[in-house]
Amino acid sequence: MNEYDLNEMRNEQGVYVNVETTNKFLRKVFLNMVIGVLITTLVPIYLFGFNARLLYAIMPYFKIIMFAEIALVFGLSLGINKMSSGTARMMFFLYSLMNGILFSSLGFVFHPVSIFYTLGVALIMFIVIAAYGYTTSEDLSNYGKYLMTGLISIIIMSVINFFLKAPFLYWIGTVLGIVIFSALIAYDVNRIKKIAFQMANGDEEAMNKLGIIGALNLYLDFINLFLYLLRIFGKRRR
């Protein structure tokens, strides 16, 4: 193998990997993530904007859909090794569809223009932060434990404020949520890039499965960032 081949690089194990193979993996991850976000975006546009009758017919089943999507995402995350990559991809897209159905209710709370504005802000932030996570030479894996602590803090704060209804806790949680999920975007992109180099010469099916999980993580980062930004930029209906 040519040590000076510009199409190859050494990974952390000192093994030569094809750069195009790793880039192909990363493109698949981002493509699946983008498709998921598009599904979640287009479904509420259709239901709220063009088929209100169907939306009202579905609304009584929102709780069922919510629990079903929680079960679906846990099943996908925990059972990824026992299913094909095609099945995993369909489950991810189905999860995106369910989220889109639930997000249709946002139109009753916020003015659509403010929702689209917030979506644009979230998209710009995602692109900038993801670019940093991809290009930085720093290993961001060391920040994982701090981000996990931050996530747990957000959950605990949300549970407490569910009962207290304290505005200051609401806004502390909002700012913390934006910071944590922004950091998670950089962290996950950096981690996915690292996995791509480690697995570049591995089994293609295994890489496809990891790619779906990577897309799911980035999707969740983006969606949660959007929801926390909506607390700030969303203009509520009176």
Judge whether 13 lies within some domain.
no
Instruction: Give percent above pLDDT 90 in the chain.
Output: 81
Task: Give how many domains the chain has, as a whole number.
Answer: 1
For residue 183, give its domain range: 18-233
CB 129 within 8 A of CB 185: yes
Produce one character per residue of 115-142: b if its CB has 16 or more CB atoms within 10 Å, e if not: bebbbebbeebbeebbebbeeeeeebee
Instruction: Give percent above pLDDT 70 in the chain.
Output: 90
In angstroms, rounded to a whole number, what is the distance separating the alpha carbons of residues 55 and 134?
39
Contacts of 120 (CB under 8 A, 6+ apart): none
Judge whether 8 lies within some domain.
no
Q: Indicate whether this model's pTM tops 0.85.
A: yes
Bridge partner list, 8: 18
Judge whether 112 lies within some domain.
yes
Judge whether 121 lies within some domain.
yes
Judge whether 227 lies within some domain.
yes
Residue 4: band (very low, low, confident or very high) from pLDDT cuts 50, 70, 90: very low
Judge whether 113 lies within some domain.
yes
Judge whether 178 lies within some domain.
yes
Per residue in 98-107, pLDDT (tens digit) is 999 999 999 9
CB 199 within 8 A of CB 228: no
Residue 141: band (very low, low, confident or very high) from pLDDT cuts 50, 70, 90: very high
Judge whether 26 lies within some domain.
yes
Q: Quick check: 54 pLDDT over 90?
A: yes
Residue 7: band (very low, low, confident or very high) from pLDDT cuts 50, 70, 90: very low
In angstroms, rounded to a whole number, what is the distance separating the alpha carbons of residues 183 and 121?
16
